[in-house]
Amino acid sequence: MHTDLLKSLRLDNSGVPIYVQLREQILRNLGAGALTSGDQMPTMREVAVALKIDLNTVRHAYDELERMGAITLVRGRGSFVAQPPPAMGVRAQAVQIDGLAKQVLATAAAAGIDPVALADRMKVLAKQKE
């Protein structure tokens, strides 16, 4: 699993911070089912060496993924894909959706992507997944 994830990670010079690119690529792997609950993530050091980036950059991405609830960091054991959260209420879900939407809009703006075109593409991709 480690090697598959490491091979899929690619960084570019788009102006989007490296930790954001890394975070988003890991989230895409989670969304695509390439990573599932309980899977062990590559160590931060493995990612840093594979991508030739600073360890603190990887730590920043992993810390954000942990804050988002996507991964769990277990001191001395490593990082693991988090268990899916229990069902949440309508209000809590609305707050989470707003936060995620704002995050995606900020990432799109940093990459110079039209948010309406992005939303249209997301609708198409969501229908393909059904």
Mean pLDDT of 76-83: 90
Residue 1 has pLDDT above 60, yes or no: no
pLDDT for the residue numbered 85: 63
pTM of the model: 0.67
pLDDT for the residue numbered 62: 95
Contact criterion met (CB below 8 Å) for 103 and 97: no
* φ/ψ (deg, to 5) at 102: -65, -40
pLDDT for the residue numbered 54: 95
CATH class of 2-81: mainly alpha
Give the model confidence (pLDDT) of 44-61 as tens digits.
Answer: 999 999 999 999 999 999
Domain spans of the chain, in order of start: 2-81, 90-129
Which residue, chain included where needed, has tokens 């609950």? 37
- Which of the given ranges, 4-13, 36-45, 88-97, has the highest pLDDT on average? 36-45
pLDDT band per the 50, 70, 90 thresholds, residue 2? low
Where residue 15 falls (left for φ over 0; alpha for ψ -120 to 50; beta otherwise) is left
